Amino acid sequence: MGRGASGKGDLRAADWLVQEMKRRGAQPFEGTSYTHPFTYAINVFEGEMALGDGKQNWSPGVDYIIHSKSNSGKGKASIVYIDKSDSSRFKNSSLKNKAAVLPKLIFSQWMKKGNTQRLQWLYSAACIVLLTEDKLVMGLSDQVFPTVVFECKQSKWSRKLTHLHWDVEQAVVQHNAQNIVGKIEGTQVKDSFIVFSAHYDHLGAMGNSTYFPGANDNASGVSMVLEWINYFTTHPPKYSILFLLFAGEEAGLKGSTRWVEEHIPVLPQIRFLFNLDLVGTGEEGIMLVNGTLYPAEVERIKQINNQSKGLPFIKTRGPAANSDHYPFYLHKVPCFFLYTLGGIAYYHDVFDKPETLRLTHYTDVFQLITQFQNEW
């Protein structure tokens, strides 16, 4: 179901991950539970999801996606096309009971400029379709527009279309999610931790028949963390190791933020955190986010890689709020966020599937980080 709040696939994934933690030999971190529960608000699409010209419904996820802030709605209406040239039409024409179709760029500009009059005019439409040449990228939100909003591939669109039919069911829900946490105790330094983290949630379902598999994002990272549980049960580590599998990442780092907020006293005990998110490619090497903050560590990783010749490049960049390492970074926990570069570019779409993810340098990444942290 795409491991999201929409469709509640994340709860099924959580159950499975708890079993895997046990089976592979990780201990609970606190008490007897492997879970850290939390709640967040999110706009979900669990019912009808249809858009078409009345003759046929188009393919969700391929021809169009729902905007993360779309409202519910069902109807049919004649189309009003809006261009850059006629962006002042809001003064003298009505969009009531119409389907408004316009380039996403125009909509983005109105949003950016806070163009309230034009936006209110647009929201009075029964349905809005934003046309884009870019890849369709699904997102998540807890906000809701006043009307139904789709994004559609410009190339799939015919200007001759006169009518649209649509049916969308959404609801903002309070979703009960859980982070999954396991531990392997160190042989020498028990109260100091190396952390391996990855988010196991993804975008969930879009309606009742489409979902986002999220193979690279981030089943790849989760499976590598699970591999490390196996590794450290047979190679007992000097420092204690924590395995943090976060939920709610795609909704805005919800799980990691809550875990950090509720574990402030533990944070100074973390020696280093490796966050993995999108590690299924590597044809163009890896990126270390926060690499610029830890040049000595980067240098050592490069030396190890020069010997093993596993990865074609080790690249670095500065801090970025783009995955679950970020709440830790804000609390001064030393950390890298590692993702692979190159290869297949499916991202936040229905094509990010296990069948096409080649895991080209998966073993190289695993061995590189394993060797690096074994030297501590």
Point out which residues bind Zn ion (CB under 5 A): 217-218, 277
**Would you call 190 helix, strand, or coil by DSSP?**
strand
Using alpha carbons, list the distances in angstroms from residue 260 to 33, 70, 182, 332.
18, 31, 15, 11
Which H/E stretch holds residue 366?
A: helix 362-374
Contact call for residues 336 and 288 (beta carbons, < 8 A): yes
Q: Which residues fall within 8 angstroms of residue 85, CB to CB, at 6 or more apart?
A: none
Closest to Zn ion by CB, 79 vs 338, is: 338
- Residue 352 Cβ, how far from Zn ion at the closest point, in Å? 10
> How buried is residue 315: exposed, middle or buried, by Cβ count under 10 Å (0-12/13-18/19+)?
middle
- Report the C-alpha gap between 288 and 325 in whole angstroms: 11
Closest to Zn ion by CB, 166 vs 200, is: 200
Nearest alpha-carbon partner for 13 in 152, 180, 131, 142? 180
Q: Which residues fall within 8 angstroms of residue 268, CB to CB, at 6 or more apart?
A: none
Closest to Zn ion by CB, 151 vs 217, is: 217
- Residue 277 Cβ, how far from Zn ion at the closest point, in Å? 4
Using alpha carbons, list the distances in angstroms from residue 190 to 186, 187, 193, 237, 274.
5, 7, 8, 10, 19
- Residue 25 Cβ, how far from Zn ion at the closest point, in Å? 26
- Report the C-alpha gap between 73 and 149 in whole angstroms: 10
